[in-house]
Chains A and B, each alone.
Chain A
Amino acid sequence: MNKTLIKWLVPAILLLIAGCAVPPQKQTAPAPSGNLAVTSLLGKARSQTAAGRLSDASVSLERALRIEPRNALLWHELARVRLAQGQLMQAENLAAKSNSLVPAGHVLRRENWIIIGRARTDLGDLQGARQAFERAE
């Protein structure tokens, strides 16, 4: 077999496998941002989260927040990362912050209440958690 062909084929196959290994991204909101820089940082944060690099993911989200400080989705994603990091109080506060930036009925509200509910559960505040989950209904 042609050596050059192998040289190209192997990495190509590896790349394909690697591509399949990336978990499909969760659909949270219709369009994250009209700003492509924000979109690319959000994508970066998500792949960093998937790779378990939570600290790096929060750095990427903070970079995005400097560009769009009132983007509720970014605050939400940061809350999600803090929850994964076990920083429960921060997760709860960041989700509340995200909620304060979108009007009632926005899809993010539900997601944020779920984060708040989970954080409160882990903090041992079961009643607070139940209230949060009810608001997510």
Chain B
Amino acid sequence: MAVRKVSARSVGKRVFLYGMMVSLLTFGLYAIYLDFAVRERFEGKRFALPARVYARPLELYPGLKLTPADLAAELALLGYRQVKSPLEPATYRWEGRQLDLVTRSFVYGDGPQPPILCSVAFSEGRIVSLTDRKRRSALQLVRLDPALIGGIFPGKNEDRVLIELRTVPRLVVDALLAVEDRRYYRHHGIDPRGMARALLMTLSGKSVQGGSTITQQLVKNFYLTAERTLRRKFTEMIMAVLLEMHYSKEEILETYLNEVYLGQDGNRAIHGFGLASVHFFDKPLSRLRPSEAALLVGLLKGPAYYSPRNHPRRALDRRNLVLSQMVEAGFLPEQQAAEARAMPLGVVERPPRGTSPYPAFLKLVHRQLQRDYRDEDLRSEGLLIFTTLDPRVQRMAEEAVQKHLAHLEAIRGIKSGTLQGAAIFTDTQSAEVQACVGGREPRFEGFNRVVDARRPVGSLIKPVVFLTALQHPSRYTLATLLDDGPLVYRQAGAEDWIPQNYDKQHHGKVSMREALIHSYNVATVRLGLSVGVDSVMANIRQLGVERELTGFAASLLGADALSPLEVAQLYQTLAGGGFRTPLRAIREVLTAEGEPLQRYPLNVEQVIRPAPVYLVTTALQSVVREGTAQKLYNRLSPDLGIAGKTGTTDDYRDSWFAGFAGDRLGVVWVGRDDNEPAGFSGAGAAMGIWGDIMVGLDPEPLTLVPPDNVEWVWIDPASGLRSAANCPGAVELPFISGSAPTRSADCGPHSVGHRIKTWFKGLFE
């Protein structure tokens, strides 16, 4: 009996053991399968990474022109926090006009830079000193981390505003943890205590709670089915634990913040806090107030049910509940919470259509990248792209375009919204694009007029005609007299062309300098025809316009259509003294791991000899000092020596201005998309915008170093002959050596009149 009993027992035990082993094995295999599945999902989300596009990092140094307000704006863009005692990275405090801050660590193309504790002192619109607060020593240079300005995303309809955990305000994370998962940093993916509490609350009928951790919610988000079975729940739990084994809390949190579903905009799903912030508040996450952060976090529970646009009352209650929970968790002082509760929802009526604050600039970046990368790599390899965008310049350009267009419409009684504009600003020597405004609604990701709008450039082309002539110093100098009398251009098989001046007058004999500064059309056409239209077109190409242009007589007056970007390239080469530097929107590209992949170095190529460029540039300075662009100096100091040119096309369809100071170059266009007359000359619209932007930028003066083979000579403009400084109307002009006139006018150094004067002068000395 005993034997049988034992054997029965042992059989049972064995069956049990086998059963255990089989189920353990099954469970193990299942876990391995889940592990594989969840990692694949996570990696897929994380490593199908869009390229991240950054603005230029702001470099602080003593002497830099920067106001406290400028720096404050930059810090806001970077999501730095104002605190009482800045010791943590990305915090600051103002002490009067001095700023104490701690920079955020960042990996640049030339290596990592750890956080720096420093003080910045300002005086008269400049930084006067930088101090290392730890070592109490002077600093020469501090580089702030660059602002993330956008991404290049996988899939066409899937847009995100990618955020990095380092730039997510503490407030948002606090609100999230207070409401969704208070023990996030203490659990391992699942939170038994939280679950027990949730179960208790649900059973007691107080409220229905999920008890899911952030990690579980992320796992749930990977699978689109909203299936709510026990098995599903169990799978989620295992996956959450597995996820936590492989990835850090920060990685999981960052992915969560970028993945989670927060609302619907038509057929577009709003995923991620970055996009949600733009969608609801039209501002970056870094600038959210407590009330706004709480609203977004409140949405997690039911994006449709608590939608602030459809159910404002529910959204408000939910938001205030979140605020209370933040107080309860010790993340927010009650007083601040009370203030936040009193705030309205603050949701913008119409969600903005774009996702990047700088779509026009991003398009420029994308175009440059497409030359070197496959689109799928840009969308999935997580490349880090460092661009040249200067948010401060961009902001000023956007504001000036918007303000002026509205003003011009108002004073002329034009229907609001009819006028359009575009602006591009660059650095004169490095050719880095600092700002790109593609239209009057800079956030609208539509037609980018800087890149895609091609318009006749009018008189903007004239400097090239004059440059071409001045390359032949034996035939042409700035003093050479041109005929501005009536001209009929006859060509076989075409109608006669009779070019007219802007003022419908003819000015007889005019010097080349005057013809350019007053923008005389007829004299320019004669000059261009005598040097040859083909030579002028060849120079347009040399200066950097790659588009193939046929070239006909009317090209001499700018009948050819170019984009503002192309015009900027052309003037860039003039500003560079005849050295062409391709316009650049990107400095370098790093891999997701921060390894340099490609640099876009500063390249120059001498395409025009310096002397003729110098001559044309001085004439362009005269355009602003005494010619068609005089009004610019109503607002800017004449000491800036700005070189510029206005452009107006037939029937006032296009208003252009292109010009440069010592350090900045800009091109502005104003017109209508339907190409109907807008009614403005170059000086009437585009120049005002250009001037406004430059006033804000406070540029460096343009001081030119004369090339070796250039000499300055006093000239009598009426006769084009040599003169002297004290002669009436005399102007001092630069000449390429050997090209200055040898004969003197009546008052000149070798004239009879001059000799008599010197003789008299000698008597009295």
Q: Which residues of chain A have a CB within 8 Å of any CB of chain B?
A: 35-37, 39-41, 55-56, 58-60, 62-63, 65-67, 69-70, 78, 89-90, 93-94, 96-97, 100-104
Contacts and interface: CB of A to CB of B under 8 A. Distances in A.
A66 B610 contact: no
A37 B110 contact: no
B601 interface: yes
A59 B602 CA distance: 9
B417 interface: no
A97 B606 CA distance: 8
Interface in B50-108: 59, 61-64
B233 to A, nearest CB: 53
Given A37-B62, A69-B427, A90 B603 contact: yes
Given A62-B601, A70-B429, A93 B606 contact: yes
Task: Give the 9 A-B CB pairs with smallest separation, nearest first.
Answer: A37-B61, A69-B429, A37-B141, A40-B140, A36-B140, A104-B708, A37-B140, A93-B604, A59-B110
A100 B430 contact: no
A131 to B, nearest CB: 15
B597 to A, nearest CB: 12
Interface string B418-451: 0000000001111010000000000000000000
B707 A66 contact: no
A96 B427 contact: no
B429 A90 contact: no
A102 B61 contact: no
Given A37-B141, A39-B140, A66 B61 contact: no
Contacts of B610: 100
Contacts of A36: 61-62, 140-141
A78 B602 CA distance: 9
A76 B588 CA distance: 22
Given A36-B140, A39-B140, A40-B140, A67 B605 contact: no
A115 B765 CA distance: 53
A102 to B, nearest CB: 7
A96 B579 CA distance: 9
A55 B61 contact: no
A3 B291 CA distance: 59
Given A65-B602, A67-B59, A93 B579 contact: yes
Interface string B103-123: 000000111000000000000
B110 A102 contact: no
B110 A60 contact: yes
A37 B143 CA distance: 11
B662 interface: yes
Contacts of B606: 93, 96-97
Contacts of B663: 69
Contact of A40 (B141, B577, B601, B708): B141
Contacts of A56: 110-111
A6 to B, nearest CB: 26
A41 B430 contact: no
Interface in B482-506: none
A4 to B, nearest CB: 23
B577 A100 contact: yes
B599 interface: yes
Nearest to A81: B601
12 contacts: A36-B140, A37-B140, A41-B141, A55-B599, A56-B110, A56-B111, A59-B588, A60-B110, A89-B605, A93-B604, A97-B576, A103-B705
Contacts of B705: 100-103
Nearest to B577: A100
Contacts of B662: 70
Given A37-B140, A101-B705, A69 B596 contact: no
Given A55-B599, A100-B705, A104-B708, A90 B604 contact: yes
A83 B236 CA distance: 60
A67 B427 contact: no
Contacts of B578: 100
B430 A97 contact: no
Contacts of A89: 605
Given A36-B62, A41-B141, A101-B705, A62 B604 contact: no
Contact of B605 (A70, A93, A102): A93
A72 to B, nearest CB: 9
Given A36-B62, A37-B140, A66 B708 contact: no
A69 B706 CA distance: 17
Name which of A35, A39, A97 has the most chain B CB atoms within 10 A of its CB: A97
Nearest to B62: A36
Contacts of A41: 141
B591 to A, nearest CB: 15
A58 B662 CA distance: 23
A39 B140 CA distance: 9
Contacts of A90: 603-604
A12 B746 CA distance: 79
A63 B386 CA distance: 13
A60 B63 CA distance: 19
Contacts of A59: 109-110, 588, 599
Given A37-B141, A62-B602, A100 B110 contact: no
A37 B63 contact: yes
Contacts of A67: 59, 61, 64
A122 to B, nearest CB: 18
A56 B601 CA distance: 11
A28 B606 CA distance: 24
B579 A66 contact: no
B707 A100 contact: yes
Contacts of B706: 103
A66 B427 contact: yes
A59 to B, nearest CB: 5
B63 A62 contact: no
A56 B108 CA distance: 11
B430 A65 contact: yes
B670 to A, nearest CB: 29
Contacts of A69: 427-430, 663
